[in-house]
């Protein structure tokens, strides 16, 4: 008859929902059986969609193994779509809940006791993980960590007949082997971050710079005065 029927639904995932990360995706199968009231005709339509989700498995370490992990904070920015990641922590794992434009609203990821920051629910995009705080005795990372998650068509799904997606990843431009999660492969991007202990030179224009400059001028003046005194004694 040329008519169109649209069926929609919405749902909310709670903490008991199983999130499958990796190549198999989260399958969502829909079956619709319909018929006409004026005939005995009926028909069944099926559809099978896969929603893919990935993660970051970051391990935080200190060069001497003595730093305070609770002082460490990271934020995560999606460079592809231009948003910051907001997540909820459940049993030591962060699950993405929102995308926010304001940096101040981004979740500050704090490592667990073992130094792990596990973030689940990411898209296959480019990200920058930026360290915004660390132990006071250690230096912050000089630049953000570039994480790229890419996908390509893989084997055919036996249910829907469409190709599944296979993921790969790089960290700062170098290929890394993604770790297994929930029995799936290519799920989370693993990498390790190390803070070194030490000090940073004062920035240009700060009090440290003019102190070094003033000290140098005084030292040069004292040396010149001594040379002058010595030369005067010799001339006498």
Instruction: Calculate the average pLDDT of the chain.
Output: 81
CB 179 within 8 A of CB 187: yes
> Residue 207: what pLDDT?
46
Q: Tell how far CA 165 is from the center of its chain.
A: 21
Q: What is the pLDDT of residues 214-236, one digit of tens each?
A: 555 565 666 665 665 555 555 44
Dist CA 139 CA 12 (whole Å): 41
Q: What is the pLDDT of residues 162-197, one digit of tens each?
A: 788 888 999 999 999 998 765 555 689 999 999 998
Backbone phi, then psi, for 168, in 5-degree steps?
Answer: -145, 165
Predicted TM-score (pTM) of the model is 0.68
> Residue 28: what pLDDT?
73
What 3-state DSSP class applies to 218? helix
> Residue 206: what pLDDT?
45
> Residue 213: what pLDDT?
55
Dist CA 171 CA 227 (whole Å): 58
CB 22 within 8 A of CB 186: yes
Backbone phi, then psi, for 211, in 5-degree steps?
Answer: -70, -45
Low-confidence ranges of the chain (pLDDT < 50): 201, 203-211, 235-236
What 3-state DSSP class applies to 191? strand
Pairing of strands 184-195, 54-62: parallel
């Amino acid at each position: 008859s040329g008519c169109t029927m649209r069926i929609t639904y919405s749902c909310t995932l709670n903490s008991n929902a199983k999130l499958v990360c990796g190549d198999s995706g989260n399958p969502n199968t829909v079956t619709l059986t319909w018929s006409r009231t004026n005939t005995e005709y009926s028909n069944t339509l099926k559809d099978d969609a896969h929603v893919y989700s990935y993660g970051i498995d970051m391990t935080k370490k200190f060069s001497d193994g003595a730093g305070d992990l609770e002082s460490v904070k990271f934020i995560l920015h999606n460079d592809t779509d231009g948003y910051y990641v907001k997540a909820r922590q459940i049993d030591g794992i962060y699950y993405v809940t929102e995308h926010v434009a304001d940096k101040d609203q981004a979740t500050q990821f704090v490592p667990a006791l073992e130094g792990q920051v596990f973030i689940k629910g990411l898209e296959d995009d480019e990200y920058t993980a930026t360290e915004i705080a660390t132990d006071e005795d250690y230096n912050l990372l000089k630049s953000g960590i570039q994480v790229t998650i890419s996908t390509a068509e893989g084997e055919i799904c036996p249910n829907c007949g469409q190709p599944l997606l296979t993921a790969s990843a790089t960290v700062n431009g170098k290929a890394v082997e993604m770790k297994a999660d929930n029995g799936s492969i290519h799920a989370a991007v693993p990498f390790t971050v190390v803070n070194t202990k030490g000090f940073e030179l004062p920035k240009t224009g700060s009090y440290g710079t003019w102190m070094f400059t003033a000290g140098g001028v005084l030292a040069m003046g004292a040396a010149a005065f001594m040379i002058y005194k010595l030369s005067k004694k010799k001339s006498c």
